[in-house]
Chains A and B, each alone.
Chain A
């Protein structure tokens, strides 16, 4: 096992600074810039690779991933509703967060694989986009049924044209159209600075996470358990699907990470508008306060181990 990646130290540093109530914070414009760079870099990298993939390979992957995206919230919802005794709106909202994905977690998984020279399918950035959206729709339906009152056009606008999806899709398209030699000229900014940008992003995430941790005490043990057990179950599901789709070990581990991750940007915004009666602190405490740190500190190495284990057991090496 290699030592801890420096980007993780940045996250822990942010956590510590936040816990100590330090004045430290990334100016919000810088945070916006850094997250924009991350989204575009992930998109570009995926887009370049996408050009090399024959459509016949991509199509089954796309279909399976989208179906899984619709299924995940349905698995989380009953646990929240009947074991956690949350209201219907809260259960639906939290389920949507966990069915969707976190780009930050994906970026850390990519960095983890890169620093260990583990091969994975670079076009997986496409999966981030595919997994981001279905859970939001399912969340709204779980909360309200298929209600005429839901303004679906507004929801669609909010979700599809939101910052996260737009930057990712834009990056994917530009990367796809430019090809490997085309993106060469812009690679110092996007690919060269990736780890440094990720470090700054994680510093701010550490600071944000520490503010969420303070509200954790209010919601107690069930949320803590849910925030750890759900990613573990979803990761197993993701590893099996990744293996089934014929992804590499690294690819399956990243798919597991995507399944395990919970959204904290696109979904909170969409849920706030579409399911206003759900308590936003509850879902953010779980996804940011528990699941995000769990995934980047423990989850990712664990999912890589899991993917390896599945591959060895099934003798796919």
Chain B
């Protein structure tokens, strides 16, 4: 029997605001415990929540970026549950009337495009943190994170494999950073996914019972967790067991998912509108204002790169993987550089180096003007691509150097002068009769070896493209 996999994802995106969603306490990460606690997050009687405008604006921005409807009227609700890191005894969230409804994100999985519908996105507050093991039989409570604004983004069950789920999560991760509503830091918990998984017999209209994998904060774990969960569910059903709707946790050490104890999930949240918060009204003026500040989205930039600049999809997706890289690339091309050569240099050389040193594009030691000059010298054939790499390495070591000076002092200027190259080619043909014979009997390797020899006696200065052309001409003529 074959099975269909059905996946929906809920993502908690931490919004980048300076203050908490319902109070003026700072959201700065990494401070000692409880320095960002405040009367509102401690739930002192008499305090009242006051909604942060920036959190609302960022939620609207997201809605517009996924082509969703922005609710003119939305409502905050109390989600009631008891846990010590939630002193109020309820989380303020949105239930019936969320701020964002019905958008979509288009993903590309192994060359196939697919629309993933976004059912809703709602604003809510994060809880505090429970810290175990600081004292015997005790738990410590840190309320720094309590009240941090979250946007919970909920999809329809539109994904049908772990790969599609990852493609969606990555796309969303890219988008929320691109539009500047989230720092995307998964280790710090700024972007966490809950994945709902179920299986059903292939082609069946009836959805199977789902289990929800909680709190995945790495794409690798997400893929492992989904694959494990799918196999587990299929095995259970094939062995004649029913799937019981439940919440599961993924254990990265064992690679397994495991249901939380039923006590922990016996939740009955008793949602009701929060009487402390009046309904939220969003004006068309605010929506228009945010729309005009949205700028180009990654999707459009990707199209520009693949259609207008004719880059391959792999390079284009690396360049749009982050807004800074895209802007850097655009400014290079705007300065007159060839789009493809520049893309090759950014993806192939610059990124390799940055990754080796675990740096981001902001930390690149090489000045942009020197990087531009380097690519210009390759474009105008002053130096070969290989010589360019040599100079790139030297610039990385000592960013104060100048490309043109390095070309001169290292003697890397390419020889494109026929009268200099032709005698070298003749010499190599004369000295390597065996290789010439091999080439003539159809061995391409021999040809490359001959080009190599010419490059060697030119001390790397000959233009390899030109050498190759001239050599081929000579050999096929004679």
B is a partner of A: no
A residues lining the B interface (CB < 8 Å): none
